[in-house]
Amino acid sequence: MESFWRNCIICLFLGFACLFESGNATPNVTLDYKICNGETFNWNEDNLVQKMDEVLDMAVGKVADNGYNYYASIRDENTDFQCWAHAACNGKLTWIDCYACVVRAHDLLMNQCRRNYGAQFQLIDCRVRREKYEFNED
């Protein structure tokens, strides 16, 4: 009889473990593809690179609160430089998983193509893109 209850508890535990495994999957941040524009900003264009960073940060920071699909743009008043970014998540993700996924995509972009004119990183569950021109991915 004792072992019956012990087995029951083990069964329940495994059941819960399975529920968590399938119902609460973490985002899949495996890279699907990336495209980095072949041209890069010059050594003396750090101010423009910073604008590119800002616009991406904006898209990444807002996408989870804006229907998992968000476009951002910035115009620099001094130089008239303008740039655009987009972030999107798989609609099945939770808020925090959407955020975590685009942060991961952002980090990959920053590590691999920060100074490129434009770049996009498509992970399995989310994507980010930034360009010096306006674009639409819907």
Q: Which is nearer to ligand NAG, 11 or 124 (CB)?
A: 124
Burial class (CB in 10 A: 0-12, 13-18, 19+), 126: buried
Q: How far is the CB of 30 from ligand NAG (least distance, A)?
A: 4
Work out which of 14, 124, 134, 137 binds ligand NAG, going by CB under 6 A: 124
- Least distance (Å) between residue 26 CB and ligand NAG: 7
The residue among 75 and 92 lying less far from ligand NAG, judged by its C-beta, is: 92
The residue written with tokens 């925090």 in the block is 96
Which parts of 5-64 interact with ligand NAG (CB under 6 A)? 28, 30
Provide the total of helices (H) and of strands (E) in the chain, helices listed first: 3, 5
Q: Which of 97, 109, 113 is nearest to 63 (CA)?
A: 97
Count of residues touching ligand NAG (by CB under 6 A): 3
Which of 72/101 has CB closer to ligand NAG? Answer: 101
Cα separation, 10 vs 26, in Å, equals 24
Q: How far is the CB of 29 from ligand NAG (least distance, A)?
A: 8
**34 or 62: whose CB is closer to ligand NAG?**
34
Q: Are residues 97 and 19 in contact, defined by beta-carbon separation less than 8 angstroms? A: no
Please give the residue ranges that form the binding site for ligand NAG (CB under 6 A).
28, 30, 124
